[in-house]
Amino acid sequence: MDTNTPNVDDQDIPQLRFLRVLVSVLAGVMIVGLLVLIVLIVIRFREDPVSTVFPDLPAAITLPEGVEVQAVTAGKGWYMIVTETGRALVYRPDGTEVSDTQLVLPD
């Protein structure tokens, strides 16, 4: 028989009982937190996304000869096309050109 081990019948050491309760409470809080996150994600994805509304593009825009498009952006009542040479071409929704500006692009 080992004489170094304390003889504990069916009673828990008070610190061990406290540790068991603490671990159980932590597990419960983590489960509730995970459920809250799942519910919030589901609610967010069920909403009607506003950011995916695209403006109406004109049927055709006539670009100058030899222009290659690098980027296109749109705002309320205008469209801008950035070319490979760094020109910013701004158009109205009906397709008419408003301005042609040379941009300084980084290398």
pLDDT tens-digit map of 73-82: 888 888 999 9
- Predicted TM-score (pTM) of the model is 0.49
Element (H, E) at 101: strand 97-102
User: Residues 55-104: pLDDT tens digits?
Assistant: 677 777 888 888 899 998 888 888 999 999 899 999 988 888 899 999 88
Taking the CB of residue 61, how many other CB atoms lie within 10 A of it? Answer: 17
